[in-house]
Amino acid sequence: MKVFLAVIPNGVDAPLQVPRAEGKNEDRDWRKIALFLGRIHPKKGLPMLIEAWARVRPDGWHLQSAGPDEAGHKAEVQNAAFAAGLSQLVFFVGPIESEKKESASSNANLFVLPTHSENFGIAVAEALAHGLPVLTTTGAPWSLLRARSCGWWVDATVEGITEGLRQATSQDPETLYAMGTKGREWVRTELGWERVAKEVMATYEGVISTSISDNLWSGSNA
């Protein structure tokens, strides 16, 4: 019996348009928001992010955390933010879906996933699809963020996240916008559903073709 192995990435919905202005808006101050969107769970590394944020304290930036609380971890993260004097800079908005999720992504300038471990990290792909540059850790398989110039891939430590935050939050809005545009094009091209569906079909066709060939070969030698 033959075993067939194929690695096909998860598909990602990429909105046709992302309502995000390029650069500064002359009518208001530019809002600089780093967004975490996911489960508030110890695996996600939020205490590391809070400590790193307290070390950097990027001027003019706010950190927004959106997602459901699991195992009561939200209280621990909130307490850490309070103890670090970040109560006015770090916000927890709870679970969000559909339009609110789209709005949170559109209003952000940077996506942050300080995770300890991810098998894929669909939140990273979704953030890129919405035109956000991404800061995540080596706990997620996204080393190409560097090569594609659309984010930062740092050690899953407070020190690694701190350095990543320093670099990311020192960029001007135009640079972050350009990085997000590169990431969006990458995801649309390589992780869009059309591309993924073609890979799935090609894999099944290859398996079927090989199976038929093997059966014909076995029959001819019967």
Instruction: Quick: pLDDT tens for 162-181.
Output: 999 999 999 999 999 999 99
Report which of 80, 42, 45, 49 is spatially closest to residue 162, judged by C-alpha positions: 49
Given this model, what pLDDT does residue 99 score? 85
Q: Is the separation of the CB atoms in 135 and 165 below 8 Å?
A: yes
DSSP-derived secondary structure letter, 22:
S
Query: Within a domain: residue 58?
Result: yes
- Verify that 169 and 105 share a domain, yes or no: yes
Instruction: Give the domain range for residue 145.
Output: 32-186
End-to-end Cα, the chain, rounded Å: 17
C-alpha dihedral sign at 211, 216, 220, 222: positive
Report, as an integer, the average pLDDT of 104-115: 95
Query: Which amino acid, 59?
Result: D
Cα separation, 63 vs 49, whole angstroms: 10
Residue 164 structure tokens: 């990543």
| Nearest alpha-carbon partner for 100 in 124, 127, 66 | 66
CB proximity list for 115: less than 8 A, separation 6 or greater: 43, 44, 45, 121, 136, 137, 139, 140, 156
Q: Is residue 10 part of a domain?
A: no
- Does the pTM exceed 0.75? yes
The two three-digit tokens of residue 48, written as one number? 């590391």
Reported confidence tier of residue 25, pLDDT bands at 50, 70, 90: very low
Quote the pLDDT of residue 198. Answer: 60
CATH number of domain containing 108: 3.40.50.2000
Kindly state whether residues 113 and 211 are assigned to the same domain.
Answer: no
Are 58 and 147 in the same domain? yes
Assess if residue 134 is contained within a domain. yes
Statement: residue 6 has pLDDT above 60: yes
Strand blocks (E) in 105-157: 110-113, 134-137, 151-154
Say if residue 42 is in the same domain as residue 141. Answer: yes
| Total domains present in the chain | 2
